Amino acid sequence: MKKNDIYQITIEDIGNDGEGIGRIDGMAVFVKDTVMGDVAKIKIVKAKKNYAYGRLEELIKPSPFRVEPICENARRCGGCAIMHMSYEKQLDYKWNKVKNCLERIGGLTDVASIMEPVYGMDKPYNYRNKMQFPVGLDKDGKVQIGFYAGRTHSIIDLECCHIGHPVNDYLVKHLRGWLQKWQDKTGKFIYDEEKHQGFVRHILTRVGFVTGELMVCVVVNGDSLEAGRKVASEIAVVENELKAIIEQAVKEYNLNQAYATKDYFLEIKFTSLSININKDKTNRILGDKCVTLYGQDYISDYIGAIKFNISPLSFYQVNPVQTKVLYDKAVEYAGLTGQEIVWDMYCGIGTISLCLAKKAKKVYGVEIVSQAIEDAKENAKINEIDNTEFFCGKAEEVVPGFYRGADNSGKHPDVIVVDPPRKGCDSVLLDTIDEMAPKRLVYVSCDPATLARDVKILVEKGFEVGKVAVVDQFGHSGHVESVLLLSREE
């Protein structure tokens, strides 16, 4: 196979970025803009030793699962990679992805018999509580605010995003005008990524889906919203205008929505405005420091009955409705009666730990990011939960140290929960879990391939997989979230 060869293929799978995957002579070929079930004529654009990339030339027989995406930018936008596939088929794909990984990589058999039906969203739109809009200029000096096009940093100027909270559409519209005004006045208000010049880089927003609290954080390449001249009174003018136009956007949203959807209307309350300082030439969106310009430093939200304070830098699950479903599953699989010692590894800001703590004797959490551990402790406090203890460090270092240390209390937990990042659990941690000999292990995973790799190791150590649930957190993207219950007889 070589570049520019033409083939006809059938798309059988989806890659991590939502691209279709077909096979030619057993070799995987990744083809953007195709859907499972498509028969397509493709041209090879890059051929590697074990795989290739192809470009869609002609759709010979469109997949029966193709739908017209609700968003006109779906094809270009890097956000929703599989919006052109029916939501039902997306769920089906995600369920099968977990099953196939557990069978092919994990070495399990008949996984379908222990899998629950997929937990999809009732309405797979407007589900995200957090948005990060890049800001830039087009070649005519017009402000662009929206999303990056797939795999590039060119910005699609968005009117509307169908997966974010709808207040964002109002915010973006008003912010665009404000940004343009100050760009026109100063000539350097908008950040230029290539030259590493200018100020405003990104706008981050968060909405508490239960409280209605809104946070806006403007990421700037500077120490303030400098309007070209570093005169305090001028900066104050820019800041006050920013505050006023956000108030305006929220007011418009509340008025329109209250009118349109009276029954389940949630009033948005503008609660926090801050800048985040990021002066580095980097792809990282946020810098380490935030300065509050108006209101509180954080917004609050609830998952079930538990309250969380969320600052711009904290990690918080983006789909609050499905997060509740996911955590409820994790708690259910943990099978708590109130007497158990539990470890929550990779605990973040303690979300799962606090859900578990209500039903356990004691919960230990461990997490690598120190700010997250601070948040976890604070979250325990505001909920008056006093049976948790949090440790900062790498799980694979903290837990073995604790296990072999003098304190006996958490050595043999009844239940361990792990929720690692995509790369899965460290092998040292899996060995330690084995030694700690919990009765039950609940594995929350955002990557079925590494999940299956770890499950294989755990099964070799004598664990048995009892139940599997797939919970869709990210409709229209290829990401797959799942929860597993593993147990072992003493």
Tell which positions 139-178 bind ligand SAH, by CB under 6 A: none
Residue with smallest beta-carbon separation from ligand SAH:
348
Tokens representing 3?
A: 């570049």
| 343 token code pair | 């470890």
Contact residue for ligand SAH among 205, 322, 351, 432 (CB under 6 A): 351
Count the helix, strand and coil residues of the chain and give each as a percent rounded to the nearest 5.
30, 30, 40
Least separation in angstroms between CB 246 and ligand SAH: 27
Encoded one letter per residue, x for contact with ligand SAH by CB under 6 A and - for no contact, window 376-415 reads ------------------xxx-------------------
The residue (of 205 and 445) whose beta carbon lies closer to ligand SAH is 445
Residues with catalytic function: 446
Query: Which range of residues in 197-205, 222-230, 232-240, 363-371 is near ligand SAH by CB under 6 A?
Result: 363-371
Mark 414-453 with x for binding to ligand SAH (rule: CB under 6 A) and - for no binding: -----xxx--------------------------------
Residues 265-324 that bind ligand SAH (CB under 6 A): 315, 317
Three-class SS state of 256? helix
Helix (H) or strand (E) holding 186: helix 167-186
- Write the CA distances from 279 to 54, 199, 216, 221, 260, integer angstroms: 38, 9, 19, 4, 42
425 residue type, one letter: C
Least distance to ligand SAH, CB of residue 124, Å: 20
Pick the piece of the chain touching ligand SAH (CB under 6 A) from 70-78, 214-222, 368-376, 455-463. Answer: 368-376
Which one of 366, 451, 455, 485 is in contact with ligand SAH (CB under 6 A)? Answer: 366
Applying CB under 6 A, does 101 fall inside the site for ligand SAH?
A: no
Nearest C-alpha neighbor of 452 from the set 479, 473, 425? 425
Contact with ligand SAH (CB under 6 A): which of 20, 198, 212, 348? 348
Shortest CB 143 distance to ligand SAH, Å: 34
Q: Which is nearer to ligand SAH, 143 or 372 (CB)?
A: 372
Return the range that interacts with ligand SAH (CB under 6 A); candidates 186-194, 249-257, 275-283, 348-356: 348-356
Alpha-helical segments (H) within 301-394:
320-334, 351-357, 370-382
User: Which residue number, 396 or 454, has a Cβ lying nearer to ligand SAH?
Assistant: 396
Number of residues that bind ligand SAH (CB under 6 A): 18
Q: Kindly write down the DSSP assignment for every residue of 211-234, as one continuous string.
A: T-EEEEEEEESSSS---SS--HHH
Please give the full DSSP string across 380-399, using - where no structure is assigned: HHHTT--SEEEEES-HHHHH
Count of Cβ atoms closer than 10 Å to residue 202 Cβ: 20
For ligand SAH, which stretch binds (CB under 6 A), given 16-24, 90-98, 235-243, 364-372? 364-372
Collapsing DSSP to helix, strand or coil, 69 comes out as coil
User: Which DSSP string do the residues of 152-169 spell out, in sequence order?
Assistant: S-PEEE-S--SSB-THHH
For residue 236, the tally of other CB atoms under 10 A from its CB is 14
Q: What are the residues binding ligand SAH (CB under 6 A)? A: 315, 317, 346-348, 351-352, 366-369, 372, 394-396, 419-421
